[in-house]
């Protein structure tokens, strides 16, 4: 989509938010909704073997609703670390489309750092809306944190009244988010740093020479926070930790 088409989508979804949810006909038994960047696609593919769920690749535009629809049977909302989720979306080049899906408009036309910050803000607002309604409708909305998603098979099976033992036995395993994509040049390193705007960086290990134009704080370890790593095979080099200090 071009920027004008994304703006139209963002405006439409902003109207949904103002009106208290979209008046859409949901034809599936359960909608799995997430911020994006939390690994929901594989879970949705698996769910479809047991229940009628929304499309894994969002062809029906239900996976990233900015707010709950006015009518639905059940919703599973997957929350997670907004910083990591937004960074994953940005790194894969989906920031503009995700902003539009979450009801963003003006932030479609700003620079990378502001766009990343806006995406994180929109993700937090989306989470707040689903969590708030889940307190009123606990039998219809299940909130699952990304870090517990892969250990929540029993909760999800009970919520959806799935009695097939294969659901729990074959539930997807957690994907390793500790390894980022390969960075192939100093220029692409710069591009990735721009994509992770708003987060701080640290050189955790360095056997070669880090790109001279990067301003990085040296750290001995990654401490208590969750980190995402980039490996530079050409520089053999620079393992960059990305997270909040």
In this model, does residue 225 exceed pLDDT 90? Answer: no
Q: What is the pLDDT of residues 163-221, one digit of tens each?
A: 999 999 999 887 654 433 333 333 333 444 444 444 444 433 333 444 433 333 333 33
Token pair, residue 177, equals: 């988010």
Residues 6 or more apart from 18 whose CB is under 8 A from it?
none
How many C-beta atoms surround the C-beta of residue 30 within 10 A?
24
In this structure, the dihedral spanned by the alpha carbons of residues 59, 194, 13 and 139, taken in order and rounded to 10 degrees, is 70
Q: Measuring CA to CA, which residue among 204, 215, 207 is closest to residue 236?
A: 207
- Domain assignment present for residue 181? The answer is no
- Domain assignment present for residue 180? The answer is no
Mean pLDDT, range 73-90, rounded to an integer: 92
| 229 and 137 part of one domain | no
pLDDT of 212 reads 38
Of 6-20, 33-47, 96-110, 121-135, least confident by mean pLDDT is 33-47
| 27 and 139 part of one domain | yes
Q: What is the pLDDT of residues 137-173, one digit of tens each?
A: 999 999 999 888 888 999 999 999 999 999 999 998 8
Rounded Cα distance, 153 and 158, in Å: 9
CATH number at residue 14: 3.40.50
Which of 138, 169, 200 terminates a domain? The answer is 169
| 66 and 151 part of one domain | yes
pLDDT tier at 40, thresholds 50, 70, 90: confident
- Domain assignment present for residue 174? The answer is no
Task: Please count the structural domains in the chain.
Answer: 2
- Domain assignment present for residue 96? The answer is yes
- Domain assignment present for residue 176? The answer is no
- Identify the residue with better confidence: 96 or 214: 96
| 161 and 201 part of one domain | no
Which of 120, 137, 169 terminates a domain? The answer is 169
pLDDT of 244 reads 35
Which of 143, 169, 195 terminates a domain? The answer is 169
Mean pLDDT, range 36-40, rounded to an integer: 83
Q: What residues make up the domain containing 223?
A: 186-243
Q: Measuring CA to CA, which residue among 60, 65, 58 is closest to residue 103?
A: 65
């Amino acid at each position: 989509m071009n920027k004008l088409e994304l703006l139209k989508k963002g405006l439409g979804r902003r109207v949904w938010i103002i009106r208290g949810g979209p008046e859409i006909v949901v034809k599936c038994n359960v909608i799995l909704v997430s911020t994006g960047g939390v690994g929901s696609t594989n879970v949705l593919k698996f769910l479809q073997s047991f229940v009628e769920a929304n499309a894994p690749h969002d062809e029906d535009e239900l996976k990233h609703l900015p707010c709950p629809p006015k009518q639905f049977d059940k919703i599973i909302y997957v929350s997670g670390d907004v910083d990591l989720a937004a960074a994953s979306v940005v790194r894969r080049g989906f920031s503009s489309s995700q902003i539009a899906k979450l009801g963003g408009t003006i932030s479609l036309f700003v620079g990378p750092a502001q766009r990343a910050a806006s995406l994180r803000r929109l993700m937090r607002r989306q989470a707040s809306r689903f969590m708030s309604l889940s307190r009123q409708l606990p039998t219809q909305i299940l909130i699952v944190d990304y870090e517990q998603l892969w250990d929540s098979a029993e909760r999800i099976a009970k919520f959806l009244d799935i009695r097939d033992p294969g659901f729990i036995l074959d539930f997807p395993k957690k994907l390793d988010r500790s390894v980022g994509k390969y960075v192939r040049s100093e220029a692409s390193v710069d591009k990735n740093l721009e994509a992770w705007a708003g987060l701080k960086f640290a050189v955790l290990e360095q056997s070669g020479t880090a790109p001279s134009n990067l301003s990085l704080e040296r750290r001995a370890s990654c401490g208590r926070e969750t980190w995402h790593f980039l490996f530079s095979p050409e520089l053999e080099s620079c393992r960059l930790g990305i997270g909040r200090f």
